[in-house]
Amino acid sequence: MQKAAVVQNAMTLQANATISAPLMKEFKQVSIISEFLGSVLTVVIVFLAILSSQLLYSLMLSDVD
């Protein structure tokens, strides 16, 4: 059992104390930003791959003449 859970279970309902985990909230925000940047990077890589394939195709067509 985690230490915070042990402390929370040891306190009674009349203790008038709350336990918050602001670090977990920050980790969630960082993970959302990380997922967003990862998806943007994937889109950029796919776009560059399509662009490079079109460039190679056009170079091959111009070489035929």
Counting the structural domains of the chain, the total is 1
pLDDT at 6: 72
Quick check: is 58 in a domain?
yes
Q: What is the pTM of this model?
A: 0.56
Quick check: is 17 in a domain?
no
Report the chain's terminal Cα–Cα distance, integer Å. 74
Quick check: is 7 in a domain?
no
pLDDT at 56: 93
Q: Give tens-digit pLDDT for 1-46.
A: 577 667 766 666 566 666 677 777 777 788 888 999 999 999 999 9
The range of the structural domain enclosing residue 34 comes to 22-65
Quick check: is 5 in a domain?
no
Q: Provide the phi-psi class of 5: left if phi over 0, else alpha when psi is between -120 and 50, else beta.
A: alpha
Quick check: is 14 in a domain?
no
Identify whether the C-beta of residue 7 lies closer than 8 Å to the C-beta of residue 19: yes
Quick check: is 4 in a domain?
no
Q: Give tens-digit pLDDT for 29-41.
A: 888 889 999 999 9
Handedness of CA 22, 28, 32, 35 (dihedral sign): positive
